[in-house]
Structure formats: C-alpha cells, structure tokens
Amino acid sequence: MKDKETDNEERLIDVAERLFAEKGYSETSIDDICEEVGVTHGLFYYYFDSKQDIVEAITERLVEDITETLEEITHDPILGAQEKFMRLWMQSLQEKKERTYLTSVLMRDSPISRFVNQVYHDAVEAMVPYLKEIVEQGVEEGVFDTEYPEQTMRFWIHGRLHQIEKAPWAEDINEIFRTIKAEAHIVECLLGAKENYLTSFYDEHEDEIKKFLKEAKESI
C-alpha cells in the first residue's frame, strides 16, 4: 500500500495533468491545483517548488509509461515487426492528443521546454534496445532491409529530438505537419521498408494530427 506522502504527491500530479489537459498549462494555476486536490499551498510546496516541477514529474512518468508500452509491444509474440511500428506510431499520436499541453510546452523557448527535451534524451538509452529488437525482427521477416538496426534507431531517435527542438513552430500548421510527415518518410528510408506504411499513416490521420497541432500552438 502506498504511504500517505506518496499518495499526496501522486494526487497532485494526477490533478495537475488533468487540469493542464482541460485548461492548458498557462491557464492552470497552483491555486487551481490545490483547490481541486483539497490541500494547502504549504503541502504543494512540500513536494514541488513550482508549477514547472509538476510538468517535470509528469514528463518523467510519461517516459516510464512509454518504455513499459514499448516493452509490451516489442515482446508481443503475435505481432509482426511492421505492425509493431504502427502500434508505436498510433500510441505516440494518442499520447500527443491526450497531452496537447506538453506539445505546447515543447513549442516554448523556456527552461521547462529544455527540461522536457532532456528527459527525452535520457529516455533514448532505455528505448533503443526494444526498437533494435523490432528492426531485427523486421529484417528476418523481410519487411526491413538494414545492416545496422541499433545505429539506425539511435540515429532516428536523436534526429527526432533535434527535430522537436528545432521544429518550425512559428510556421503554419501545414508546414509543421509536413515536417513531421517527412520524419516518417526518413524512417522508412532508414529501415529500407518495403512499404510506405508510416507516411500512409499520416495521410490517413492528417486532419486529426493538424487539429491537435493547432490546439497546441494556440495554447502557447
């Protein structure tokens, strides 16, 4: 059973995440979080120095969740490698839709956006072994063609982080969408994929993706 301190901290994180999702990061205050949880400001500041600290805690928990999901998908004995990649892509989209405020945080030029990027950098080492395993499976199945599974995935993940940091957030939504769709095409090329299944995913979900990008951009 969780001790009371852990329970209080997790309640604050859970409520903050819900309020950020409903109202946006900028529009949610520490007062809002404390009132919703039913605690004093003193208890809030016992666990967190600022609202930024809560986003850091949410991001760290998100990375843990992503790693657990990645492990489950990687070791699913039924799925083929290409389907595993599609599951990862769809899971990533779902998380972005549920956490639009995190995308808006990444669009900011601020210490918190740099922290979120750093957390993702730290997560790379945990993710690469699973991705490497999926690519190796794809090579065996004949749907991928690369001699360098680990290096390919490391190159992609680090490239994705650079893209997040340098993405054209000041541009219009169409240009942002074009940039992230280009990433899917690049991954297909790196993998030597036999089908354009990732870029097809963006074609199928274009309106949905542009909608959450627009919401994130408007809440900066």
pLDDT at residue 119, as a whole number:
64
- Do 80 and 62 fall into the same domain? yes
Q: Are residues 34 and 116 in the same domain?
A: no
Which residue in the block uniquely carries the two structure tokens 């992503």? 66
pLDDT at 35: 93
Distance CA(106)–CA(67), nearest Å, equals 20
Find the length of the chain.
220
* Whole-number pLDDT of residue 144: 95
Residue 158 to residues 44, 100, 134: CA-CA distances in angstroms?
Answer: 35, 22, 18
Model confidence pLDDT, tens digit, residues 174-212: 888 888 888 889 889 999 998 888 899 889 889 988 887
Q: Is residue 96 located within the same domain as residue 196?
A: yes
Q: How many domains is the chain partitioned into structurally?
A: 2
pTM of the model: 0.73
Residue 39 belongs to a domain with what CATH number?
1.10.10.60
**28 and 69 co-located in one domain:** no
Do both 105 and 24 map to the same domain?
no
| 18 in the same domain as 104 | no
Give the pLDDT of residue 1.
Answer: 42
- The pLDDT, as a whole number, for residue 134 is 94
Specify whether 176 is located in the same domain as 110: yes
Q: How far apart are CA 204 and CA 209, in angstroms?
A: 10
Q: Which residues in the chain show pLDDT less than 70?
A: 1-6, 96-123, 161-171, 216-220
Looking at the structure, tell me whether residues 128 and 99 fall in a common domain. Answer: yes
Domain span at residue 35 reads 1-48
pLDDT of residue 43: 92
The pLDDT of residue 114 is 60
